[in-house]
């Protein structure tokens, strides 16, 4: 009978990494806002509340613009389920070196978690008209800041040669940036649906944890 190797070193490190991000995914689902109800930022709905609403067939709490049957909302239950299974896999990987199959399964579960979260992310963020406008404004701010940074030296030379035009353009760009920043920031957009963003990020990192566990556990088994 083959000896079971206890986890240590890099395997233990990425097992803890997996455990932490699985807990973050579950916490973001249960406690942080996923949906802004009827566009009212003071009326935010968590993933856990969505799941309870789906379970009780009370869809009035939701503002998702799906043109799908209500039964498909059941995918919300996949989010905590994937998080719990990944958490268990992480704990098992901390106890002993995981098998390649377990690592591949963890990556698969992370992908399912991401897809399940995207079911809510797409209608409530990506194709939400209000958020689309905010994203465009925030993207313009980032583009202007990046352009100014990359063209710093040519701008300084232009300022020396054409101080009047350069100063008018610079002040105009600054005022445009300030105005756009007052309209929307990526920070405010992300905070409005913090649970969705953090859940997506956490599942992505559990996939990375599964990948790293695969590499480190392979080395551990050879040692």
DSSP string covering 133-163, please?
HHHHHHHHHHHHHHHHHHTHHHHHHHHHH-H
Model confidence at 27: pLDDT above 80: yes
pLDDT mean over 91-96? 91
Model confidence at 75: pLDDT above 70: yes
List pLDDT tens digits, range 123-133. 666 555 555 55
The larger pLDDT score, comparing residue 124 to residue 101, is at 101
Q: Say how far apart CA 21 and CA 221 lie, in whole Å.
A: 25
Contact 125, 193 (CB under 8 A): yes
15-32 residues labelled b (16+ CB within 10 A) or e (exposed)? bbbbbbbbebbbebbbeb
Q: Say how far apart CA 116 and CA 108 lie, in whole Å.
A: 12
pLDDT at residue number 1: 40
Asked whether residue 156 is domain-assigned, the answer is: no
Query: How many structural domains compose the chain?
Result: 1
Domain with residue 200: its CATH number is 1.20.1410
pLDDT mean over 189-214? 84
Nearest to 195 by CA among 86, 45, 72: 45
Asked whether residue 41 is domain-assigned, the answer is: yes
Model confidence at 187: pLDDT above 80: no
pLDDT at residue number 2: 47
Asked whether residue 117 is domain-assigned, the answer is: yes
**CA of residue 146 relative to chain centroid, distance:** 23
Model-level pTM?
A: 0.69
Asked whether residue 178 is domain-assigned, the answer is: no
Maximum average pLDDT range among 22-31, 126-135, 167-176: 22-31
Asked whether residue 136 is domain-assigned, the answer is: no
Q: Which domain holds residue 109?
A: 9-127+192-222
List pLDDT tens digits, range 41-71. 455 777 787 777 777 765 555 544 444 455 5
Asked whether residue 81 is domain-assigned, the answer is: yes
Three-state SS at 176: helix
The larger pLDDT score, comparing residue 156 to residue 20, is at 20
């Amino acid at each position: 009978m083959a000896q079971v190797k206890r986890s240590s070193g890099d395997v233990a490190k990425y097992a803890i990494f997996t455990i932490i991000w699985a807990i973050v995914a579950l916490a973001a689902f249960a406690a942080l806002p996923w949906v802004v109800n009827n566009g009212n930022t003071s009326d935010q709905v968590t993933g856990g509340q969505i799941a309870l609403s789906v379970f009780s067939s009370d869809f009035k709490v939701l503002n998702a613009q799906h043109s799908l049957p209500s039964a498909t909302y059941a995918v919300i239950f996949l989010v905590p389920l994937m998080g719990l299974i990944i958490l268990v896999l992480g704990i098992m990987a901390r106890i002993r070196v995981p098998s390649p199959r377990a690592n591949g399964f963890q990556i698969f579960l992370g992908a399912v978690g991401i897809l399940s979260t995207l079911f809510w992310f797409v209608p409530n963020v990506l194709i939400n008209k209000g958020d689309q406008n905010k994203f465009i404004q925030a993207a313009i701010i980032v583009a202007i800041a990046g352009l100014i940074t990359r063209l710093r030296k040519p701008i300084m030379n232009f300022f020396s040669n054409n101080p009047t035009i350069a100063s008018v353009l610079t002040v105009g760009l600054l005022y445009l940036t300030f105005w756009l920043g007052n309209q929307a920031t990526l920070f405010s957009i992300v905070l409005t649906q913090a649970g969705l963003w953090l859940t997506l990020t956490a599942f992505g990192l559990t996939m990375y944890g599964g990948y790293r566990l695969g590499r480190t556990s392979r080395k551990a088994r050879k040692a």
